[in-house]
Structure 1
């Protein structure tokens, strides 16, 4: 009887040892699998980070070289203008912009543009409207008063308008019946309001736009609107407001000191 109990006990111990070994083996296999998976994901993330850094580095180099090119072009233009060679200077600008010699909009659009006394701002708006029309969107512009800008504000305004209209064009290019509206009016005696409104193909939350760096699309970085924020936040003469509805995004720029 004693030998029998010992035998049973021995078999029981061996049985549980086998199960323990099997359990430990499965556990170690799963742990190794998870470790390998984590290592693979970490490696993939590292490679993605390296690729992103390389892409950013290349873009930075392109921007840096482009800045030198622009500086040299401006120096060249300065010399042409000082020598009263305006035709040569204009041709150089047209070659850089790859633009047609002249763009004329519909009469009602031109009538509103002519209320802006700055020919530079007129030209910025005109060329961007031409690009928006080229993607098939309908365009409406209304300038309710004669608007003057000082030189410093005009330079900043040209940057802001260019960014806003570029962003609107990007949002409109995939829409079948896109709508674009631009208005410029007086808020009071010292303040002018520029409103840019464009249709969107999906509802957008303002907080989500801010999270996406002021883009209406998750996969679009929207650095342009981030640059506008930086310009506006660094100047007491400007204030920016963004409003969204189910089908439209409206950006309003308040400019103090315009005449």
Structure 2
């Protein structure tokens, strides 16, 4: 999407956006799994992303546990950047968890009040000791990767005055929280 935006190709950008919005991922058997309450997410691109990552995690024998207890609708006009940020964070969490013995990624949506939404993604990270290095340009723990994902997350957050990122390493678990302010 960034490439479309930089090149100014509005038609391709709009077409890709429509694909995201109208994406109809598999949803059968979701009731039995740990992605219940998906209907609480009221943004179609966000719900589609979570379902897509749920199945990606499942393919890697990882449990993606979604925690959302009330309706959450993001009113930020830059919803695609938020979806992109969450996509990168979930991809990283799933890829890291694939290397761990504990196979659980947690994604929690918390409506703090009408103006603040917190989205926290937590995963095991037993070999991580310095969270500051995660955001260094080019840093990666993955073979054949370039280490730009979290750098891109930081750039996207800095470009939007209503987004804040908080990172914490607690008992060998990495918790990254995206805070969205200025809602409604």
TM-score range, shorter chain: 0.7 to 0.9
Q: Does 1:164 align with 2:89?
A: yes
How far residue 142 of structure 1 moved from its aligned partner, in angstroms, is 0.6
How does 1:80-159 map onto structure 2 within 5 Å? Answer: 102-104=26-28, 106-107=30-31, 109-150=34-75, 152-159=77-84
Decide whether the 8 Å contact of 2:37 with 2:68 is kept in 1. yes
How does 1:185-196 map onto structure 2 within 5 Å? Answer: 185-196=110-121
Match of 1:178 among 79, 103, 110: 103
Partners of 2:75 and 2:162 in 1: CA distance: 12
Which one has a bigger Cα radius of gyration? 1
SS of the aligned residue for 2:164 comes to: strand
Decide whether the 8 Å contact of 2:125 with 2:173 is kept in 1. yes
- Call closer, same or farther: CA 1:247–1:212 in 2, change over 3 Å: farther
**Which 5+ residue runs of structure 2 have no aligned equivalent?**
none
TM-score, normalization: structure 2? 0.78
CA RMSD of aligned residues (A): 3.3
Partners of 1:196 and 1:225 in 2: CA distance: 13
How many residues align? The count is 178
How does 1:17-96 map onto structure 2 within 5 Å? Answer: none
How far residue 71 of structure 1 moved from its aligned partner, in angstroms, is 6.6
Decide whether the 8 Å contact of 1:137 with 1:179 is kept in 2. yes
Partners of 1:226 and 1:77 in 2: CA distance: 23
Decide whether the 8 Å contact of 2:34 with 2:63 is kept in 1. no
How far residue 138 of structure 1 moved from its aligned partner, in angstroms, is 2.2
Structure with the larger RCO, 1 or 2 (CA within 8 Å, 6+ apart): 2
**Which 5+ residue runs of structure 1 have no aligned equivalent?**
1-62, 82-88, 95-99
Residue of structure 2 equivalent to 1:243? 168
Which structure has more strand as a fraction of its residues? 2
Decide whether the 8 Å contact of 1:186 with 1:192 is kept in 2. yes
Instruction: Summarize deviations over 1:42-64 as a string: whole Å, max 9, x none.
Output: xxxxxxxxxxxxxxxxxxxxx97
Which structure has more helix as a fraction of its residues? 1
SS of the aligned residue for 2:77 comes to: helix
Instruction: Summarize deviations over 1:118-173 as a string: whole Å, max 9, x none.
Output: 12210011101210121112221111321112262321211111111111122122
How far residue 235 of structure 1 moved from its aligned partner, in angstroms, is 1.3
